[in-house]
Structure 1
Amino acid sequence: MTSPEDVTPDESVVDEAVTDESVVVEAPAESTAAEAAVDPQVAELTEALQRERAQFANFKRRSAEEALQAVARGKQVLVEKLLPVLDDLDRAREHGDVTDGSPLKALADKLGDVLTGEKLAKFGDAGDVFDPELHEAIQNDGSGDQPVLGTVYRSGYRLGDKVIRTAMVTVTDAPAAE
């Protein structure tokens, strides 16, 4: 190369252009022909890889959902098996067997706390508005204008938002407003 003193203004522009990294160098003609033959195969393999990745992502998502559903179903089965125990504890409360300081009260409270923590909720108290999707009416003592629950023979339960057992009740009319 030339020394900086020998360089004319036009030559310095050429030297800067040569040292600039943005200069495009043309490839020989035979490599572009080979690249053109490879491009469809690369595109095809890239599409296949993308499809496989999408299928795998869907598989992972479905597997995670199925695992959560299996856990929820297992919880529901266990709670359904415990509902007769809760019914017995309710009957014991009605008879006065569950009193403060008794071991049965401690057991009932602990079991209730555990099931409440798992989002089990009891429904179907006397005086509630009758809903045929939540309550199983075994007797109707009213005219049907404003049906409410009368006697509750069996409480209903929800696990989260899902009703796992309807309440067994009698239906009466709402008391007249004074």
Structure 2
Amino acid sequence: MDKRILKTKEKLQSALRILLEKKDVSDITVSSLCEVANINRSTFYVYYSNIQDCFEEITDSIMDEMRTLLQNNLNPSQEGFLLVYFRTARKYKNVFLAIHRQGVHNSTIQKMVDINNDWLHGELFIPTSSNRLEYNFIFSGFYGMVEMWLQNGCKESDEQLINILKKFYVVNR
């Protein structure tokens, strides 16, 4: 891809991450994004149809990063998955907060679940034999804990979060 295209998209995505510090994705306008990025609206529309398209490109990139980290993990484990997840969430806190503000049943969370399905079932803490009610209970608890952690500024360490999960889920079976 052309370096100019990459640079422009990078500016737009960076501006969106900045705006996410103060606003929900749904409250960000193309005009405000372009103003922060110092890019014309017409340039924005060359690359994206709307703000959500830009946001999804950011989240897809983050998920690719997570997938690569998991695949390169020489000692895959439940704790390894959780460490990758928490470190990535901390690194992209504003994006993860925006994802969580959209609710547990949004398309980005579903993509994340789909990408990490093998880890979530069996490897992590959701047995493959779980029915939908058990799965929803476990996932909603995890989701709620992460959301509160993000809202409170990620004060707890990765290890503290894993210890909380160990109290409620079977970790390292």
TM-score relative to the length of structure 2: 0.28
Of structures 1 and 2, the larger Rg is shown by: 1
Of structures 1 and 2, the one with the larger relative CO (CA 8 A, separation 6+) is 2
TM-score relative to the length of structure 1: 0.28
Give the structure with the larger strand fraction.
Answer: 1
